Amino acid sequence: MQALGKTQQHQRASWIKRLAGLAAAAALLTGGAAHAEGQIRIAYQFDVGDILLHVVRDQKLIEKYAAQEGVQAKVEWKQLSGGAAINDAILSNTLDVASTGLPPLLTIWDRTYGKQNIKAIAALGSLPTYLLTRNPEVKTLADFSAKDRIALPATTISLHARLLQIAAAAQYGKDKFNHFDELTVSLPHSEAAAALLSGKTEVNAHFASPPFQFQELKDPAIRKITTSYDILGGPATLNILWAPERFQKENPKTFTALRRALAEALSFVQGHKAEAAAIYVRLESSKLPVGFVQEIISSPDVQYTLQPQNTFKLASFLADVGAIKHRPASWKDYFFEEAQSQGGS
């Protein structure tokens, strides 16, 4: 009888393990189980477009405002490269909040529409991206030819590739939006900048981002052909912070603390650019001089704001070319309600 009792105990323990495994699998299928208020896992970018998040991290602003909400915050910061990796991490519930460019947000908003309902929490600022070349024969977009190679983060799908497509559609007609695609090559910005500055590779153009574009322009052989602001008709959001709806609903106090932290970081960056630049250099262990970073974030073209600027034009274009299935009626469709009161575009 005692042996039978042990067998029954073993069978019962086995069933408990199996049920726990089924519960875990079900949690993944439904977007992951909720976790306690105050726990937040954030992925952010390496560039100065995310300097608000660098300040939030350095000054522990989420922890500060979570405490005011009666919550003890545990914040985990991660740096992931590439929108696809970040999207997968969000969908597998190994991240809660992420910063990317606009195309990855719109792609995952479309993919999770009516399901996880991923939306933007806030814009992180409007910074221009420059299309640069060292080819002396290229004076305008129309001068690019088959002998040119334009480096950008990812062909066809990155923000820079989409900007080129919008420019091509404006110049050659909507059916020719992919006119420049065959000239593009995928390279990380750091490698593209090194290639363009060396002048020794096939890459003779780079659709860049800060800080790399400012470094490249110090070479007199390199010049600007067009910018994201030119293509989109004004200042345009570079990076956006977003999350699944479950995070907003299951962690309302943490969500509020994050929004308040961003607001304080914005005020700090606007009023203390030298200190913000120093924070960026320190957290990134960057070799860039603090003065150079300060010069970038002080540029008249750089506008740090939590409100989106010129995002809807890109969203409409992606719907036009079938890159997203759900056509937003306005920018508000892919932003949480809390971000809408101060306006945007």
- What pLDDT is attached to residue 324? 95
Domains within the chain, CATH numbers bracketed: 39-127+237-339 (3.40.190.10), 130-232 (3.40.190.10)
The model's pTM is 0.85
- What pLDDT is attached to residue 82? 64
- Per-residue pLDDT, averaged over 185-192, amounts to 93
- What pLDDT is attached to residue 13? 47
How sure is the predictor about 156, in pLDDT bands with cuts at 50, 70 and 90?
Answer: confident
- What pLDDT is attached to residue 232? 96
**Would you say residue 218 has pLDDT above 80?**
yes
**Would you say residue 277 has pLDDT above 80?**
yes
* Residues 257-276: tens digit of each pLDDT: 999 999 999 999 999 999 99
- Per-residue pLDDT, averaged over 240-269, amounts to 96
- Per-residue pLDDT, averaged over 69-97, amounts to 84
Mean pLDDT computed over every residue of the chain = 89
**Would you say residue 2 has pLDDT above 90?**
no
- HEC states along the chain? CHHHHHHHHHHHHHHHHHHHHHHHHHHHHCCCCCCCCCEEEEEECCCHHHHHHHHHHHCCHHHHHHHHCCCCCEEEEEECCCHHHHHHHHHCCCCCEEEEEHHHHHHHHHHCCCCCCCEEEEECCECCCEEEECCCCCCCHHHCCCCCCEEECCCCCCHHHHHHHHHHHHHHCHHHCCCCHHHEEECCHHHHHHHHHHCCCCCCEEECCCCHHHHHCCCCCCEEEEEHHHHHCCCCECEEEEECHHHHHHCHHHHHHHHHHHHHHHHHHHHCHHHHHHHHHHHHCCCCCHHHHHHHHCCCCCECCCCCCCCHHHHHHHHHCCCCCCCCCCHHHHECHHHCCCCCC
**Would you say residue 28 has pLDDT above 50?**
no
**Would you say residue 7 has pLDDT above 70?**
no
Of 89-93, 288-292, 317-321, the one with minimum mean pLDDT is 89-93
- What pLDDT is attached to residue 35? 61
